[in-house]
Amino acid sequence: MTSRYRSSKTSEGINSLNPRRRTVVKAAAATAVLAGPLAASLPARAADQAPAFLHGVASGDPLPDGVLLWTRVTPVPEAIPGSGLGPDTVVSWVVAEDRAFTTIVAKGSTTATAASDHTVKADIRSLRPATDYWFRFSSGGTDSPAARTRTAPAADAAVTNLRFGVVSCANWEAGYFSSYRHLAARGDLDAWLHLGDYIYEYGTGEYGTRGTVVRPHAPAHEIVTLADYRIRHARYKTDPDLQALHTTAPVVAIWDDHEFANDAWSGGAENHTEGAEGAWSARQAAAKQAYFEWMPVRPAIAGTTYRRLRFGKLVDLSLLDLRSFRSQQVKVGNGEVDDPDRTLTGRAQLDWLKAGLKASDTTWRLVGNSVMISPFAIGSLSADLLKPLAKLLGLPQEGLALNTDQWDGYTDDRREILAHLRANAIRNTVFLTGDIHMAWANDVPVDAGTYPLSPSAATEFVVTSVTSDNLDDIVKVPEGTVSAVASPVIRAANRHVHWVDTDRHGYGVLDITAERAQMDYYVLSDRAKRDATAKWTRSYRTRSGTQKLERVYDPV
């Protein structure tokens, strides 16, 4: 996400590629200093207490015959995340057909070590497709919580319906993760998609919270080292709402920039100072290692998150990594956004995506996409709205119509993929997107300037943030105030945009049948309240074969 909220660093322009930086944390003090705040947040344990599962359990990346299980064991009190301390510890797992664990279908054990921060993964196979299972871990006489997971349908299965929760952008300090709680309470999800920014890298108070830190990060400083990233992931995994969602359905996750640093690209990031914070290659490697330790995600092609999952004959899901291979973002207005030598995806990933879309024989082709592919122009906004909108979108505050961190900054890649969809008559492609802290429902036009006279090649559902600041938070006005003014102007300048909500936090539920793909958008009452309620606000669908959205007046 391109927004920048470091309160102590406001002198640079919003598109500066060399911002002024704070002093880097010394890695030598990591074990003693970094782990302290996290240890204080965990339940107290006696020195002789048995191993504990303080960070919950999770599953992910469902296949027709299997699923990936995850947990983290704390073998002794001092073996807190990022510490490098604690003995090798045997952890067992069991998978059953029922919640009472009377019908066991798989079991085994592995050894958790400090080398992997005492995280555990078990890639279970030989399960039945489209089936609910229950699993738990145990160690030293202690059982983890029990959790539900679900396998994907068989590749050739005629699937009637699928339902996915869809979320992105969860800033711990800005509020509570009520979106996760409400998704968990549904009990009807085949899986849930996290489209990036599962964690944030900033130090306490450095990222948008409407001026109030609801709950502090651990560690308190910006994360740079492997220990830092481990501690931050661990802090997130103590959230009860996140734990609850992980126990109800498997997650399918990709990363965006904040799993690394703001506006990350292949050779650096806006929020990284080479040298003062070490080498970018080392920081990137640390972030990736911690991610794969702490997330129920299988490392995919080239150790990234781009991979493909299939859900019967109804859906295949192509998941992208739009950080590891991209060229550096450029400033708006210099023409470089159209340079064919610049790339968002990297050549290999773009070829992989094109080939997969063309070869797919499923009814729907979903693309898990961390930054918006639909073109966006600001149009004419009043000065009081233009400045915060530009800040959130990473645009120059004079209002030029590009966000160079999104596909708008890499137009040759976008032209190629959209031309590929049209040339090969590939229908029913739906991009599922996060990052922008707003909810959008878009057609994806081949030529935005002549749309709707020119065709749409795909559709796009963008979900808002779980907690991260959106426009009303930046302006600090009542919810809905900005959207009431900005949304009509945005839509007038972008005829492919059916709807945009600039102001609210929440989540989406994607419901798919052979006839249509429908996104139901839900919003929270107050991100700063632990007991926030949720309500449905809008629904849009695309009918099979149309490549266009239409509004629906009832959620599924």
Residue 330 C-beta-side C-alpha neighbours within 13 Å: 18
Burial class (CB in 10 A: 0-12, 13-18, 19+), 258: buried
pLDDT at 492: 86
The tokens describing 535, both together, are 């309500």
pLDDT at 256: 98
- Looking at residue 250, its amino acid is P
Of residues 27 and 260, the one with the higher pLDDT is 260
Q: What is the mean pLDDT of residues 21-36?
A: 35
The tokens describing 105, both together, are 């279908």
Q: What is the mean pLDDT of residues 430-441?
A: 97
Residue with tokens 């309500």: 535
Residue 113 · residue 21 · CB < 8 Å? no
Contacts for 367 with CB less than 8 Å, ≥ 6 apart: 317, 318, 319, 320, 353, 429, 430, 431, 432
How many Å apart are CA 285 and CA 280, to the nearest integer?
8
Q: Where does the pLDDT of residue 218 fall: very low under 50, low under 70, confident under 90, or very high at 90 and above?
A: very high
Indicate yes or no: pTM above 0.85. Answer: yes
pLDDT at 230: 98
Q: What is the mean pLDDT of residues 464-492?
A: 87
Percent of the chain topping pLDDT 90: 76
Distances (CA, A) of 431 to 77, 172, 192, 365, 485: 44, 26, 15, 9, 27
Q: What is the mean pLDDT of residues 198-210?
A: 90
pLDDT at 379: 61
Position 34 pLDDT exceeds 50? no
pLDDT at 22: 32
Average pLDDT, the chain: 89
DSSP for 74-143, please give it: B-STT--TTS-----EEEEEEEESSTT--SEEEEEEEEE-GGGTTEEEEEE-SPPTT-EEEEEEEETTEE
Position 220 pLDDT exceeds 70? yes
| pLDDT tens-digit series, residues 228-274 | 999 999 999 999 999 999 999 999 999 999 999 999 999 999 999 99
Q: Which letter, b or e, does each residue of 203-238 get, where b requires 16 or more Cβ atoms within 10 Å of its Cβ? A: bbbbbbbbeeebbebbbebbbbbbbbbbbbbbbbbb
Residue with tokens 């809008």: 538
Please report the domains of the chain, with CATH numbers, ordered by start residue: 50-150 (2.60.40.380), 155-552 (3.60.21.70)
Position 417 pLDDT exceeds 60? yes
How many Å apart are CA 32 and CA 46, to the nearest integer?
20
